[in-house]
């Protein structure tokens, strides 16, 4: 079973709704609009804020993909090292 995480990429405040949208593969803007409209229509704005806060407590941020960041950093460092060696010769 796939776990729900808060999004690191699709976020306005905390990435909570963006993460839920990624999990269910739907548009996050539609989910945000639906959440606000449902809170207003049913008159439970405080309840919606409390639900959002409770979800923040239990849904963790998405883990960082270290391979993605390390591959870009190491290749850049290698390229800079080669440039330095070329200039010293």
What is the pTM for the complete model shown? Answer: 0.66
Ranges of each domain in the chain: 17-60
pLDDT tens-digit series, residues 35-75: 999 988 888 888 889 999 999 999 988 888 755 455 444 44
How many residues are present in the chain? 89
Whether the per-residue pLDDT at 77 is higher than 80: the answer is no
**φ/ψ of residue 30, rounded to 5:** -65, -40
List C-alpha distances in Å: 45 to 27, 34, 39, 52, 64.
Answer: 22, 13, 5, 11, 33
């Amino acid at each position: 079973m796939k776990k729900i995480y808060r999004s690191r990429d699709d976020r306005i405040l905390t990435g909570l709704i963006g993460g839920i949208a990624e999990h269910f593969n739907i548009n996050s803007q539609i989910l945000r609009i639906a959440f606000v409209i449902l809170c207003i229509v049913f008159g439970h704005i405080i309840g919606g804020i409390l639900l959002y806060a409770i979800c923040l407590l239990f849904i963790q941020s998405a883990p960082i993909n270290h391979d993605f960041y390390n591959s870009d950093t190491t290749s850049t460092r290698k390229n800079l090292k080669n440039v330095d060696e070329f200039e010293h010769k």
